[in-house]
Structure formats: C-alpha cells, structure tokens
Structure 1
Amino acid sequence: MKQNCNDKTAKVRYNHSIRYMDYLFDESKVHELLTYSTDKRLHIMKALSSLSKFCGKNDEWKLILKKYNITWSTANTTAGEYNLMFDNVFNNGYLHMIEEVRKLIRLLKPLGKSNIILFNVLTGLRPQEAIDSYNLLLSEKRDFYLSENKKLLQHYKYPDLFFRRTKKAFISIINDNILSLAGENKTPPLTYNSLRLFTNRNKEQFKMSYCRKIFATFLRNEGVELEIIDLLQGRSPTSVFARHYYRPPMEKFENIRNKLSKLYNMINEK
C-alpha cells in the first residue's frame, strides 16, 4: 500500500522497513533509533509506521515509541547536527556552491546534459522535480504545462509528479533564458541516477542539491520576501499571515523574472 506516496518514496519506505524491521518486532533494540541523526530517524520511523499498520501492530508500535520517549519532533537536535549545520553555512557557503555548480555544468556539457543544472538553479525546485519539469518541457505536454503567456511553469497540473505528502511544487517563474534551456529538440528523458552515476564515474561529487540553495539565497539577497520564496520552492505557508492574508502584487513576480536573468548570467560567468 503506497499511502499517498509516489513510487520512489514507496520504494524507499519499503527498503527501510525491511532493513529496520527488528525495531518493530524486538522492543529491546528500539532504543537504537536514538543513535541516528534526526533525518535518518524520521525516515526509519515513517517506514516502520507503514509496516506496523500493514501488520496490525500500529497500536503496539505507538506504545513502544512512547515508552522510550522517541518522538517525531525535530526539536531534539544533537550537538553534532548543530555542528554540521553551521559547518555547511560557513564552509559550504554561497560562493562555494556557485563554483561547485559551475564545475558540474562544465562536466556535463560535453554530454549535452548541462542545461538541466542551470535549469534547476533558475527554478529552485528539488532535483527530481527539476528533472521532471525539464522532461515535461521536452515532451508533447509542453504547451499544456506552460501558462498562456509562457511566464509560468504550472506544476499543479501534474499532481502525480509534483504533489507529495510533505513536499510539493506549485509554480515556477520563468523567462526566455529558462525556456531556451529546454528547447524543442527531442532528447531521451533525463534521470537523476544517470546524472549522478556519470558524475561519480568522473570522480566528482554530485551536488545538484546546491541548485535549490543558490536560488533561495540569491532571491533573499535580492530582497525578495520569504513568503514568495517559500511559494516558489513549494513550501506550504505555516503562519496565519502567509496562509490567509498575504497576497503579493503581480509586479513582484515580474521583478523576480528580471532578477532570474541576473542569476542566469552569474552562473554562466566565465
């Protein structure tokens, strides 16, 4: 049972449930969950929650978690996780990420696959979302996917691709530079694994996740409101103000469209 997950997430949950099923059936081992990082612990707990429902042990599983004070909250961040967070901020900063992305573009350019990296930077999507979006623009669905004025990518029209339980993408602002990256030429659909494996074979790190961070940092440095950045990156608003009251004027989107040209030139800088 996929439980409103896409195929990739369902496969990850299945693999995690098989690997860590001892925690569900052997209570003496469940305390080991506390030794993992927050992200890994949550992935394991999601998988075991699904498995417990399938096995009819969900009530027992909840009692075990309560007994050992294992929560879904991310508030109990460890000192090691804080160290990693600040290390990423100061040692893997904005300029470092830009240089790594430029390096990735140079590596993929001979294969004719470098445009997807720049496309990801300029849309700010999650890597798999960017690949799905790029492939849609290369398909016969291109015209339906684009808004009538060709200024927006309408991800909401493809909920199976862009709407997951906790991660969604609604729209992306685009301009002529972005559209030119996914031209009319027909190429085989790109996949995340093909890009990653090629990069690893060339002994380079595959840092496609930097694209989304560069997009958000660039727009924030340009004075764009967090609420708009969250909208463009598919984060559902959590505050009452953003959810019920904030209605940005359309002029702001046109302003961002112009700023994306600046970002395009920045990444393409020789």
Structure 2
Amino acid sequence: MIVIAGNKLTNFDDTMLPELERIIYQKKMGSSFEQQYDSMDEFLFELHMRGRVVEAARLLNKSGIQFAGFKNTRCNDAFWTITEYGGIQLKDGVAPRDAINDIFRNGSKYAIECATAIVIILYKAVLDSINPEQFDRLFADLLLFDWHYNSNLRILRRSNVQQAEAGDVLYFENPDFSPKTPWWRGENVILLENGKYYGHGLGIRSGSEMIAALNKYRVPDSNKSAYLSDSYEQLYFNYFRQFRTGVRSSRVRAIIGGSAFSIYI
C-alpha cells in the first residue's frame, strides 16, 4: 500500500511511466507493506531512481567487466589509478561522470570484486538521476574500493528483507565458505524487477541459483547452506531529489485520498 501525505493512493495512471518503472510501481501497489511518502513527487522520484539502479545493474552485466580480487584489480588508466590496496582512485582533472560512464562503456578494461561493483552501480544510478554537474560536485574525490564510498552516496540500512524492492542491495551469506576461495564468503546483489538478482561474478540468477552457486565453494562436508541475509541496503532516494535536473514533460492522473490530481513526470 502506498500512502501519500497521509492519504492512500488508490488509483494512478501508470501508462506514461517507462516500462521498468511501471513494473516497480505495480509491485509496490501489490505489496502488503505500507510505504509512506510526503508527496507524489517524492514517490515518483524514488520510482525513477529504482529504475536507474536496475538499468545500471543490467548494463554492468553486459559491459564485459571481469571479477578479480583486490590484488588483481584492473582499470582504464585514462580515468583512474590503482591504489596500493587495490582501490580505484579518480585521476586529477577527470570529471567523475566521465570516469563512471567509462566503466560501462569499456568494461573489458576493468576487473574488480563484487562489493565495488555494487557501489559502481549505485554511483551510475545517481548520475543518471540528477544533474551531471551536481554529480561531479558531490563526488569529486571518487575512490572505488569495497564498501568504502563517498559520504554523499547516502545509503540506508533496512532490517526486513521481505520489504526489499527492485533497486535494493541484498546479500547472500555463505557461512561455511572455503578458505581457498575467501571471495565466495558471500555475494552482494541488486534485486531486479523480475525477482532475480545481479551479482558481479555470478551474473543474473534466481535466489535458488545464487545459493546453489555459493554452495559449491564451501568447506568439504559442510551442511550449512548459503542463504539470503535478512538485512539489506537502499539508496536514500529522497536525498538526491534536490540535485535533479527538474525537467518534466508527461502528465499522469492519480487519485489520493479520494481526490484526483494531474501530475507532471
């Protein structure tokens, strides 16, 4: 259930939404969990950003980027330098937006581990949702390394994975991972709109397929299966609304609390 400014959203003309956002909206409407927003604008911007996260995950999956531990990190040295601990540091004089976009355009020049890949996806989603000049200002000192990220990449931690939606970051835990393959102690993933997950190194799979893949990397004779963690993360969508371009061209109709509204998106 979706609640806007204290009133239930009972009908919304979703025909003007992009297909991906429409799918996310319909799943929100069918959810048994109440989701509250201060305004319709806040709700629509979240739909938009969730769509951008899913798109970025699919783009990275097709980019040719490879999986590697920190010791074997690779990057395009026209945009980045590799730190002594395997991070990727933005070069002086390079625009952050150009460096992030290069990862998706020239993925074969990059090799990273899974947590870094998730953070890259989130940066890309933010870039595609706000004014590019604002992105460059917010993330002028980009460093890509594990779960270390710029303080302006606002991420919220949630505790009930049953409430997770497309565009959220989840984690498959592998408690009995083999010490020979410590990088398979788990898999950070993006939940996609079709209920599947994208994880760097394992690609796009269902939940059962993610678990089966991780179970191949356990200690011998283990009886502890990998599993989906109950906690998850999501972008602080509403924080980024202040940095968007603000261009609107399509009008949709919504009924909130019994009253009809025309809204530009």
TM-score (norm 1): 0.25
Q: Rg bigger for which structure? A: 1
Structure with the higher helix share, 1 or 2: 1
So what's the TM-score if we normalise by structure 2? 0.25
Q: Which has the higher contact order (CA 8 A, sep 6+)?
A: 2
Q: Greater share of strand residues, 1 or 2?
A: 2
